[in-house]
Amino acid sequence: MRFAIILNPAARNGRAGRVRDGLEASLARRGADATIVETSAPKHATELASTLGRSFDAVVAVGGDGTAHEVARGLRGTTTPMGVIPAGTGNDFAHALGMPDDIDDAVAALLAAPTRPVDLGRVRWQETIGHDVPWKEDVFVNCLGAGFDGQVAMTVPRFKWMGGNLAYLAAVMRCLRSWERPHAEVTVDGQVLYAGPLYFISVCNGHSIGGGFLMTPAAVIDDGHLDHCIVRGMPVLRVLRLLPQTFSGSHIHAPEVAMGTLMRLAAGSATALPMQADGEVITEGAHSVEVEVLPGAIRALMPGRA
């Protein structure tokens, strides 16, 4: 199998670029037929994946969830499988695939991994209110967050030097006092699930976000649906009590939290909601949001899955 390796040297605050030597050595030691190409700008990985996917047997993202997001976007609609070697801030999608964090172990797992169809999420949104307002669209591999979660994603870059869930946690603490809990209505599969003050909406394909927060602990990336975690508005002190529970997933029992699976979700708010997809900010404010699952939309190399 011929592998195209797309390395994002800017991932994890520039530290991902340092893994290239170890990556090349590990690939060479195992006799892998691989070509490494580095990205040079945001969204470059999508362009590279679209091009390289036509001439290689698999395309592998080396970076974080944002890099995987871009590669999946470039491969969507093709039969070329994608792999992920974790080298970013969060690496939640790589973990959902079963990839280990150590580069050498990840290469070994990747080369032995079977290919399986996995789901994607698709999101559409309007940034102003009106019938003739155009809709924007994107896909996500791991998680879509609207509301407070989007605001956190806008803040995370200043803390990426901390790495993993520490960066996410620092951004959460920075945003807690300023979030105003706008009113929103959320519909899941045609039924109104919640209407009122909102903290955030997370629609997830994988089980964790932010480098290990178990936002939707029951989520599976190849089960044909997405999982949601909707958190209504609450006092800051209550948030601080619930936040540690996301490390174990026990927050799912809190009365302020609505959990479940879905095929489609719609949300609307008079106050524009910031939104992130796979940790990357896709809009600083959406008034209308529609999310749906795309079952088996992409093929992925998944260690340990026969």
Q: What is the pLDDT of residues 139-190, one digit of tens each?
A: 999 999 999 999 998 998 888 777 667 887 888 889 988 888 999 999 999 9
Domains identified in the chain and CATH numbers: 2-113 (3.40.50.10330), 120-296 (2.60.200.40)
Q: What is the pLDDT of residues 213-235, one digit of tens each?
A: 899 999 999 999 999 999 999 99
Distance (Å) of CA 67 to CA 73, 81, 82, 225, 232: 10, 15, 12, 23, 31
> Which residues, in sequence order, are CB contacts of 5 under 8 Å at separation 6+?
23, 27, 34, 35, 36, 37, 60, 62, 85
- CB-based contact 142:278 (threshold 8 Å): yes
Q: What is the pLDDT of residues 92-143, one digit of tens each?
A: 999 999 999 999 999 999 999 999 999 999 999 999 987 788 999 999 999 9
Q: Which of 305, 306, 304, 299 is nearest to 83 (CA)?
A: 299
Helix/strand/coil for 233: coil
Q: Which of 140, 196, 151, 174 is nearest to 286 (CA)?
A: 151
Q: What is the pLDDT of residues 36-78, one digit of tens each?
A: 999 999 899 999 999 999 999 999 999 999 999 999 999 999 9
Residues facing residue 24 across a β-bridge? none
pLDDT for the residue numbered 306:
41
Choice among 76-85, 159-168, 185-194, 204-213 with the minimum mean pLDDT = 159-168
User: pTM (2 decimals)?
Assistant: 0.91
Q: Which of 267, 197, 284 is nearest to 228 (CA)?
A: 267
